[in-house]
Structure 1
């Protein structure tokens, strides 16, 4: 008797996948062999399945790669949610259709080295000198998503990924993006200090640390500008109507500071001023802006930064022209 997708509990679903695996070892091994090929044919089949189950998936991924902030997966998540891909997977698992890759793919995700294979393969792509810059960025995206989603879905733990990177290094593999991704996820959970976070001080009597402050630095957006505050605020308002993702705000911060439109301040102060100065706009969290700023300004090759290449450079040049006009 077929179980309706929306009534299946997660543990029951996992048991169903394991039952299929126990009785279809040959099909499973063939699938694992295919995804392990260097021509990436197995991954292409998985991507094609995702396109079939969620027709807007490919466009959502491409939109993310070209426009979205590296922390904002809402577009991709909405496509998958609207398509109800979980129900499609559950139906395909129970259909016994020999042409569907869903059962083998699910078994690989739950019980195989799926996440590790995806991460290791994309690390190799990044190290390959023949890989284009844009494809390296895509590979970095896949690695971060694989690690994040495997932890979120409780398929892997941070300890599992720590062990994975130790094994990879022991056999001579370079895993710089895996290292940075794990660190980024750890930083997401750590509290981000504000400028008023005081250093831990001790009292004369008990020598115990005092509690750290959490006050926001509150200044008006007008007070940050060095001249023509009203004109700059109008320019800013026009820009923010369509540009308020993490990358956009990080580049805005860099432009205003480097081109001497704004007095020196930390990103948290700048973000707080924007939030209070434009309450009608929904801004991303300050952590997204801090993360984007770090990525965009990290030295890469020849003394250049990520923001000096491709679409990022074009975006930054447009910001400078907007405020110079």
Structure 2
């Protein structure tokens, strides 16, 4: 909705400002994200109250929408948001934030956090609540479908990412977690085996940076900030492509040592996914298309990778002048 109220350049600048706010207010953002992760849905209630304050008829419209059953759009709510100039109000609160306002953290969470995943999970938990009747369960089902469809349409998620998240949710509900954990441990153990006479030569992340990177510590910090909110297999594949296109890496670097370097650098705070998933995502993104292009050069993927490149290279280039 906000992107519709702006030109593309203005929209990209707005998202860059959100990232700056996020970096400057890590504790405030972390507190908001934690509130959205709790089962009591305290954060969701705060967002709902904010929506009602910005769109007075919001509660009435959502109630009417729920009565439709398996709805597949929220055009009426979007129109009300437009009529109430919601986008400009949100932008204004970000540019001139009021003390205690949740808006900056909320927008950062929506754009850069696991917002869609958490909302889908909350809806699924509600849908499975025994006390709910069919009416509420139908509403939750429709909401889940709409959230997933909208996230894909906006280019904020891919179908592959939703499939992976669905499997993670199924695993969490199953009795197979121990088997899965042991399988992962076995894979890690096998991957760490060395052939006789060929000791492994591991490199740290900064050792993988190209010699022209003049500020390796700053680049390392930027990568860490990115991974705090973007660490799926596709996120990491996009990160590697962005670093390669910026010529920040000594080429070529295979997926496994790159993933291992990220694990060594950030593994205490961030769960770095297995290299198999990263390799699959990387192969998909670099799959050739017509006219010499690849998947990464088209549509939402091109936009996502460009955003990463802008974030990694903003303020000043890390490359020393030639």
Q: TM-score, normalised by structure 2?
A: 0.49
Q: TM-score, normalised by structure 1?
A: 0.49
The structure having more radius of gyration, on CA atoms, is: 1
Q: Which structure is richer in relative contact order (CA contacts within 8 A, separation 6 or more)?
A: 2
